[in-house]
Structure 1
Amino acid sequence: MKKSSWLFMLILMMSTMMTLSSNNWMSMWIGLEMNMMSFMPIILKKVNKSSSEAAMIYFLIQTMSSALFMMMILIKAISINMSDYIMNNAITLSLLIKLGAAPFHYWLPKIMSNMNWKKSMILMTWQKLAPLMMIYNSGSSTIINLSTMCCIIIGSIGGMNQTSLRKLMSYSSINHMGWMMILIKYINLWMMYLMLYSIIMFMVTYMFSYYNIYYMNQLSMIYMNNTEKISFFFMMLSLGGLPPFIGFLPKWITMQTMMMEKEYFMMFIMIMFSLITLMFYTRIMMNMFMTFNSSTKWSFTKPNKYFNMLNIIMNLSLPLIMIMNIM
């Protein structure tokens, strides 16, 4: 990575930390703007048609949401007669647009389809942290509940029949966003969910980037040994939240929390649509396991056995956590 890229990555992290540590809306807005302006050069690291398009879409969406957010802050500052309910909902609305949550999600798959896996991983994980914290501080519940339902439904249905793995992962991210937003009133729970999701997504995107895989049909054209196939299999099932893999832990905690709050209908919807996400994760694995894998003699990609073993151990660590809790 070039020195300039390290500089922009440092500004990206510092701007997010600034937003998280701020105690007023104006300084949070400044942190978001710094975050946007540092992420755009990262998108434009290799200037071509696709990266320019992704940067332009990202800039327009983020600017529109920031303008709405700033307008609500100014209205609140000059004490115009407007109910706090409307203002909090408008602030939350602007943050949902910035986050790419449904039904304001259309820009997210479009941008991700024009970026590589490293940039997509930053967009799906780190870039969620500051807007989610601000949504937590806004205290609006009605619009969050509606957006949560849309994220879970659209994130599951949108991933069906996708041949682009980047678009599929973007819809998967939207679905997981719904699970995080249902926990938004419990700060320690949604942050734990985001942390575990980020670790799993790092492993998934690392493997896709390592083999330079961007489309579903490429999975049947690469050679993987048995350890790598098992590692990839565990990653996909963990991302789908299937027990006994570690990805089930945040969903398990979410379901327990919702049962304590007696939100049975919402929990039923979330579980049912999670089965749809498991279906398209299984489609990814079927291309790898059930078709004939061909490899070329000119392939120089070597398996990373240490990463694969670490991945298998981490994804199977949930039973160990349960045993330790019982003891």
Structure 2
Amino acid sequence: MKKSSWLFYMILIISTLITLSSYNWMGMWIGLEMNMMSFMPLILNKANKSSSEAAMIYFLIQSVMSMIMFMMIIIEHINYNLSKELINLVMMMSILTKLGAAPFHYWMPTIMAKMEWNKIILLMTWQKLAPMMMISNMNNSMVINLSIISSVMVGSLGGINQSSLRKMMGYSSINHLGWMLAINKFVSLWMIYFIIYSVLTTLMCKYFMISKVYFLNQMSSLNMNNMEKVNLFIMMMSMGGLPPFMGFLPKWITIQNMINNSNYFIMTIMIMFSLITLMYYMRVMTNMFLSFSTTIKWMTNKKNNALMLIMMIMNLSLPLIMMLDIM
């Protein structure tokens, strides 16, 4: 399986590009099916009980939603006596379920708790691209607004009592998905959000993968030096969207866009619940900062040296961008 995994990665990329470049629903559906069938062997890369359960849950959710979507495409094509609004509603709900957006999110944190970090990175980043592009081509503001509010609330409240870092990152992903759906109609804007979010998430999960950390209580036993602690703290704050770090930029863009479109009510809910996400990001770092450090040296571990440098540059680049913009 490991020798042939490059083939599945290639099909995964090609299938997403097929969905993005299709001009009709059938082409998009074919791309999504190819994407599902290439992602499942990647989940099963290591044959154990957890990965098998994750692959089965993923297959059931994605295949059922694909069948519902396909049925709606056929009904629309044959001009069956069914209202256009109902067809769009069912299709929108099926795509949101495939995406893992609330209130259709229950499967996502469950399978993330059973997967490896490198597969989690794919699920939280690349796997969102095709469904998000499909939603941007649809028009059902009522369902989107409901999903935005639900995703922001569930993503914030769901991660509070989590001891599993993988589940916490899953709820964080749901929260960020609500912000991306808020600017979904403007492709260039949500793509900026998606790229910054993907880079930050990848860096965070890569650090967890290198450190072999899966639960909150393992963080205090990492024996990090001060430089790594400060760097990881900045990373967490950036993920929560705290200024002046890089993670604030996409949220700033979203807030400005919603003000321009007079979406004050939804924007207020989103800002309020983003404070709760900051709280559970801080929980990850609190124990480490309060615990006694075994070293006073401000130098990084050699195995994490490059990753730490990238994280620092990425998160502290926003003030520089703002200064250049002012000048």
> Normalised by the shorter chain, which TM-score bucket?
over 0.9
- Provide the C-alpha distance between the structure 1 equivalents of 2:252 and 2:128, rounded to a whole number of angstroms: 21
Specify the alignment match of 1:322 in structure 2: 322
Post-superposition CA distance 1:231-278 (Å, at most 9, x none):
111110000000000000000000000111111111111010000000
Counterpart mapping for 1:90-109 below 5 A: 90-109=90-109
Amino acid at match of 2:5: S
1:140-163 CA-to-partner distances (Å, cap 9, x unmatched) read 211111011100001100001110
For residue 229 of structure 2, what is the aligned residue in structure 1?
229
What residue identity is the alignment partner of 2:24? N
Distance 1:294 1:48 in 2: 37
The aligned counterpart of 2:164 is: 164
Pairing 1:1-327 to 2, within 5 Å after superposition: 2-292=2-292, 302-327=302-327
Q: Deviations along 1:29-77, whole A, 9 cap, x unmatched?
A: 0000000000000000001100000000000000111011001000001
In the TM superposition, what whole-angstrom CA distance separates every residue of 1:157-210 from its partner, at most 9, and x where no partner exists? 000111000000000000000000011111111111011000000110010001
Q: Which amino acid aligns with 2:114?
A: N
1:298 matched residue in structure 2? none
Distance apart, 1:311 and its partner CA: 1.2
Distance, in Å, in 1 between the alignment partners of 2:118 and 2:288 is 23
* Letter matched to residue 84 of structure 1: K
Other structure's SS at 1:138 match: coil
Instruction: Write the letter of the residue equivalent to 2:270.
Output: M
1:305 is displaced (CA, Å) by 1.7
Q: Indicate conservation of the 8 Å contact 1:221/1:293, yes or no.
A: no
What letter is aligned with 2:126?
W
The answer on whether the counterparts of 1:62 and 1:98 sit within 8 Å (CA) in structure 2 is yes
State how far apart, in whole Å, the 1-side matches of 2:286 and 2:116 are.
24
Q: Deviations over 1:8-49 (max 9, x none)?
A: 001001000000000000010000000000000000000110
Contact 1:220 1:292 in 2 (8 A): no
The aligned amino acid for 1:152 is: V
| Structure 1 position 101, deviation (Å) | 0.5
The percent identity for this pair of structures is 58
Letter in 1 for 2:325: N
Larger mean CA deviation between 76-85 and 43-52 belongs to: 76-85
After TM superposition, the score normalised by the length of structure 2 is 0.96
Relative to structure 1, the CA distance from residue 85 to residue 294 in structure 2 (aligned partners, 3 Å threshold; closer, same or farther) is farther
Task: Specify the SS of the correspondent of 1:245.
Answer: coil
Measure the CA separation in 2 of the matches of 1:60 and 1:122. Answer: 19
Q: Summarize deviations over 1:116-144 as a string: whole Å, max 9, x none.
A: 11000100000000000011112221111
4+ residue runs over 6 A deviation: none
Residue 291 of structure 1 and its aligned partner are, at CA, apart by 2.1
Q: Is the 8 A contact 2:95 2:135 kept in 1?
A: yes
Gaps of 5+ in 1: 296-300
Q: Which runs of 5+ in 2 are unaligned?
A: 296-300
Query: Taking structure 1 as the reference length, what is the TM-score of the superposition?
Result: 0.96
Tell me the distance in 2 between the aligned counterparts of 1:140 and 1:76: 16
Distance 1:30 1:310 in 2: 37
Q: 1:294 to 1:215 in 2, by over 3 A?
A: farther
In structure 2, distance between residues paired with 1:309 and 1:44: 32
Distance 1:323 1:294 in 2: 38
Shift of 1:90: 1.0
Contact 1:40 1:59 in 2 (8 A): yes
Give the superposition deviation at 1:3.
Answer: 3.1
CA–CA distance in 2 between the matches of 1:90 and 1:126? 24
